[in-house]
């Protein structure tokens, strides 16, 4: 394949469209969450991921797992956790079986904020997808996103 290969050009165009769709959705949700709840997309995502933890086997996430889930580096995730902990939305504690491990739970205040912000997030996502679906370049990607049935 060469740099002018039509398959590579199509691939690059598809990647650009996907990047554009992601950027538009994230910006739309960011504005809605910031104005309605004082949360960034990353903060909301972190609260959401941590709220799904449970007491059973493997129910608590280590920081690397949390970082992977919110698509941030471990250091950026740690800074984000610290910011939300300072706001009273999260609490850290030592793992009872491994004193080297530190877990993070969402506080009651964090759960209330997350519950209030979830409809805003969902509505903003729907709005952003509906808007993107009107763009012929993005419509096929919106269809793919809407067809995904991923486990929660």
User: In this model, does residue 9 exceed pLDDT 90?
Assistant: no
Domain boundaries, the chain: 6-147
CATH classification number, 6-147, choose in 3.40.50.300, 3.40.50.970, 1.10.3720.10, 1.10.10.10: 1.10.10.10
Residue 152 has pLDDT above 90, yes or no: no
User: Percent of the chain having pLDDT more than 70?
Assistant: 97
For residues 99 and 27, which has the higher predicted lDDT (pLDDT)?
27
Least confident of 31-35, 42-46, 52-56, 57-61: 57-61
CB 21 within 8 Å of CB 138: yes
Buried b (16+ CB within 10 A) or exposed e, 127-151: ebbeebbeeeebeebbeebeeeeee
Residue 110 CA to residue 88 CA, distance in Å, equals 7
Mean pLDDT score, 109-135: 97
Higher pLDDT, 33 or 59: 33
Q: What is the pTM of this model?
A: 0.87
**Residue 118: pLDDT band by 50, 70, 90 thresholds?**
very high
* Long-range CB contacts (within 8 A, 24+) of 132-139: 132/21, 132/24, 132/25, 137/17, 137/20, 138/17, 138/20, 138/21, 138/24
Residue 1: pLDDT above 60? no
**pLDDT tier at 2, thresholds 50, 70, 90:** low
């Amino acid at each position: 394949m060469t740099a002018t290969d039509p398959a590579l050009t199509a691939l690059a165009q598809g990647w650009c469209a996907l990047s554009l769709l992601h950027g538009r959705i994230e910006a739309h949700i960011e504005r809605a969450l910031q104005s309605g709840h004082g949360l960034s997309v990353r903060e909301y995502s972190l609260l959401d991921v941590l709220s799904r933890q449970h007491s059973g086997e493997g129910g608590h996430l280590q920081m690397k797992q949390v970082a992977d889930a919110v698509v941030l580096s471990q250091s950026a995730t740690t800074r984000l956790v610290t910011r939300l902990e300072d706001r009273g939305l999260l609490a850290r504690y030592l793992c009872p079986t491994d004193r080297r491990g530190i877990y993070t739970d969402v506080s009651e205040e964090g759960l209330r904020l997350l519950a209030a912000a979830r409809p805003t997030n969902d509505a903003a996502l729907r709005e952003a997808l509906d808007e993107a679906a009107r763009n012929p370049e993005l419509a096929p990607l919106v269809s793919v996103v809407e067809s995904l049935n991923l486990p929660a």
